[in-house]
């Protein structure tokens, strides 16, 4: 089976940044993407909050990220990832073009637009129902359209649609938007934008194409029909984690409410050696600028994991027999003890492990407290000792 160091799934801002950082650290990086590289950024018309670039379209910024990553020569592969399998501590990325064993995996598949779920939505998708103003806005030249939602996407994309449409209704289930103040002011100040408050879409109706929306006022219960040729659904996102379903359902890969992947501040998921970055993780702010930061952190953490953990496995778990001492690098007495062992010729075969930094390995070998000496035979601990000085090693 093909073996790689870092396999990144997804080539959006998080994945591409991780590829840059991974390659600059000297890792072998394979980045897998299906379809158009760049991810969701391609569907954004204007990005004006990426520092250093006052204005760019999502596609322009995505292209710049891609070219930047290419400079460091990761391998890009156009394939569809079908699953992630864990076998005997190995991580296997299953794709439609074969399986790859990875030392570390980075999940960076981003998020997709949430569906509203009312009758007519699925049937009229591509025939008046859209999730991308940049992609489909131009089809509605001089026509009336509706946007559903009240967040930044609904409000900003609603204003974008006024370039084409004669009227843009923004249908929101509350009586105020939750978008940024500047975006709200821009929308409400636009004569082509008309909010419809306290309302939900009960049904999308038409024959060949969308013709009307059946609206319900959530306060009065009153029903009304709104004639429009198009409806843009911008009611938030959901993580692209379908290929991880067996791991999520079994509780091995931990997720938060809404299905977002849980990570720690090193972007480590609940699976050792599997990292996640960008829009699919549980986080406060889903933006290009935060996705790239996540990608950088994840790549550096993956680098540390590969160089420390995988290297340690080779030193501790693979030999016929090995003696090891786990100590804490943040405890002065234990640092001195480690120095004492390192300096004594009779202990030069003892493997010293910083158990504070390599807590996963310490956990794996059930080291409860530091310092601790272990005798390990073919990966199995046969003896463990609490030690306070180098001479205690004689009883190992």
Contact residues for ligand NAP (CB under 6 A)?
49, 116, 148-154, 156, 173-174, 178, 200, 234-237, 285-286
Give min distance, CB of 236 to ligand NAP, in A.
Answer: 3
Give min distance, CB of 213 to ligand NAP, in A.
Answer: 12
Q: Which is nearer to ligand NAP, 196 or 316 (CB)?
A: 196
* Separation of alpha carbons 11 and 35, rounded Å: 10
* Separation of alpha carbons 131 and 116, rounded Å: 11
Q: How crowded is the C-beta side of 104, counted as CA atoms within 13 Å?
A: 30
> Can 118 be counted among the known catalytic residues?
no
- Taking a C-beta distance cutoff of 8 angstroms, is the pair 269, 261 a contact? yes
* Separation of alpha carbons 156 and 162, rounded Å: 10
Q: Which is nearer to ligand NAP, 92 or 118 (CB)?
A: 118
> Can 135 be counted among the known catalytic residues?
yes
Q: Which is nearer to ligand NAP, 22 or 62 (CB)?
A: 62
Give min distance, CB of 176 to ligand NAP, in A.
Answer: 9
Q: Which is nearer to ligand NAP, 163 or 186 (CB)?
A: 186
Q: Which residues contact 131 (CB under 8 A, 6 or more apart)?
A: 43, 112, 113, 232, 233, 234
* Separation of alpha carbons 336 and 315, rounded Å: 22
Give the residue at shortest CB distance from ligand NAP.
151
What is the number of residues in the chain? 396
Give min distance, CB of 268 to ligand NAP, in A.
Answer: 23
Instruction: Choose the catalytic residue: 78, 135, 175, 190.
Output: 135
Give min distance, CB of 260 to ligand NAP, in A.
Answer: 12
* Separation of alpha carbons 82 and 41, rounded Å: 23
- Taking a C-beta distance cutoff of 8 angstroms, is the pair 237, 286 a contact? yes
Q: Which is nearer to ligand NAP, 74 or 295 (CB)?
A: 295
Could you report how far apart the first and last alpha carbons of the chain are, in Å? Answer: 39
Cβ-in-10-Å burial (0-12, 13-18, 19+) of 139 comes to middle
> Can 132 be counted among the known catalytic residues?
yes
Instruction: Provide the sign of the torsion angle of the four alpha carbons 137, 158, 152, 237, taken in this order.
Output: negative
Instruction: Choose the catalytic residue: 136, 279, 294, 354.
Output: 136
Instruction: Choose the catalytic residue: 28, 63, 132, 144.
Output: 132
Give min distance, CB of 166 to ligand NAP, in A.
Answer: 24
Q: Which is nearer to ligand NAP, 240 or 309 (CB)?
A: 240
* Separation of alpha carbons 334 and 330, rounded Å: 8
Q: What residues act catalytically?
A: 132, 135-136
């Amino acid at each position: 089976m093909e073996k790689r160091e870092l396999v990144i799934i997804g080539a959006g801002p998080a994945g591409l940044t991780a590829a840059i950082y991974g390659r600059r650290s000297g890792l072998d990086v394979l980045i897998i993407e299906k379809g158009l590289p760049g991810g969701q950024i391609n569907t954004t018309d204007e990005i004006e909050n990426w520092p250093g670039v006052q204005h760019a379209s999502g596609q322009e910024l995505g292209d710049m990220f891609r070219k930047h990553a290419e400079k460091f020569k990761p391998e890009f592969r156009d394939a569809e990832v079908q699953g992630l399998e864990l076998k005997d501590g190995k991580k296997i990325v299953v794709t439609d073009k074969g399986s790859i064993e990875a030392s570390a995996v980075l999940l960076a598949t981003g998020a997709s637009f949430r569906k509203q779920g009312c009758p007519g939505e699925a049937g009229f998708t591509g025939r008046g129902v859209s999730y991308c103003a940049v992609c489909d806005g131009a089809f509605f030249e001089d026509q009336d359209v509706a946007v559903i939602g009240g967040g930044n996407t609904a409000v900003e994309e609603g204003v974008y649609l006024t370039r084409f449409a004669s009227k843009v209704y923004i249908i929101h289930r509350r009586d105020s938007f939750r978008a940024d103040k500047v975006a709200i002011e821009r929308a409400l100040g636009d004569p082509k934008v008309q909010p419809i408050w306290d309302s939900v879409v009960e049904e999308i109706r038409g024959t060949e194409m969308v013709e009307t929306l059946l609206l319900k006022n959530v306060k009065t219960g009153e029903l009304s029909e709104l004639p429009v040729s198009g409806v843009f659904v911008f009611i938030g996102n959901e993580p692209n984690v379908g290929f991880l379903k067996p791991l999520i359902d079994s509780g091995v890969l931990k997720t938060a409410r809404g299905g977002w992947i849980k990570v720690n501040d090193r972007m480590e998921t609940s699976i050792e050696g599997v990292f996640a970055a960008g829009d699919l993780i549980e986080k406060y702010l889903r933006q290009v600028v935060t996705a790239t930061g996540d990608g950088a952190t994840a790549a550096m953490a993956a680098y540390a994991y590969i160089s420390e953990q995988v290297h340690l496995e080779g030193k501790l778990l693979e030999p016929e027999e090995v003696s090891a001492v786990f100590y804490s690098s943040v405890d002065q007495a234990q640092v001195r003890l480690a120095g004492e062992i390192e300096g004594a010729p009779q202990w030069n075969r003892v493997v010293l492990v910083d158990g504070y930094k390599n807590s996963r390995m310490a956990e794996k070998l059930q080291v409860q407290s530091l310092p601790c000496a272990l005798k390990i035979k073919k990966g199995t601990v046969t003896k463990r000792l609490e030690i306070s000085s180098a001479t205690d090693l004689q009883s190992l």
